[in-house]
Amino acid sequence: MNLLSAKHAVRSMSEQDTEQIAAFVAKRCVPGTVIALDGDLGAGKTRFSQALAKELGVTDVVNSPTFTIIKEYEGEKLPFYHMDVYRISMNEADDLGLDEYFFGDGVSVVEWSSIITPLLPDQYLHLFLQYEGETERVIRITAYGEPYAAWVNEWKRSGMA
């Protein structure tokens, strides 16, 4: 079971706000960073992933891996592993060898992560994106373990909305 370390919520009023949140996260990413995304359909999980990839120096077009499940990108800073587990079962996910990504040399982003929570590592950053209007979102951030708890506490101190 994961040890809950820190929680925070931010309000994104635009795509630019979401990009700023992704930039904050990207600056702290190291090999083995795992970011789990959940939320309403159309709330911006893929948009967040695109902004994070851009901040990691990915120059390829990043789009939803809904049907391919996992897409790998080379970034100038770190490799970027973009996953969408919406259409698979826990057993199918277990057969994918996700640990190789989670404990590898890049940053893993898992959309619809709640489907595979037991397969996630003990330490990861979880973002739940909630649709609040045309451009407004509430992003609930939960850190499981370090260094993610430190990220969330830094976020709180920064006053970032």
Instruction: Name the CATH code of domain 4-158 (choices 3.40.640.10, 3.40.630.30, 3.40.50.2300, 3.40.50.300).
Output: 3.40.50.300
Residue 153 tokens, joined: 């506490």
pLDDT tens digits, residue range 113-148?
999 999 999 999 999 999 998 889 999 999 999 899
Residue 9, beta-bridge partner list: 140
Residue 24 tokens, joined: 């904050």
Q: pTM for the full model?
A: 0.93
Q: How confident is the model at residue 4 (pLDDT cuts 50, 70, 90)?
A: low
Residue 150 tokens, joined: 């430190």
CB-hemisphere CA count at 13 Å for 33? 25
Q: 3, exposed or middle or buried, with CB in 10 Å at 0-12, 13-18, 19+?
A: exposed
What is the b/e burial string over 49-86, where b = at least 16 CB atoms within 10 angstroms of the residue's CB?
Answer: bbbbbbbbebeeebeebeeebbbebebeebbbbbbbbe
Sequence-distant (6+) residues with CB within 8 A of 124 are 2, 34, 35, 36, 144, 145, 148
Q: Which of 61-65, 90-94, 125-129 has the highest mean pLDDT?
A: 125-129
Q: How confident is the model at residue 1 (pLDDT cuts 50, 70, 90)?
A: very low
Write down the pLDDT at residue 3: 53
Average pLDDT over residues 76-93: 93
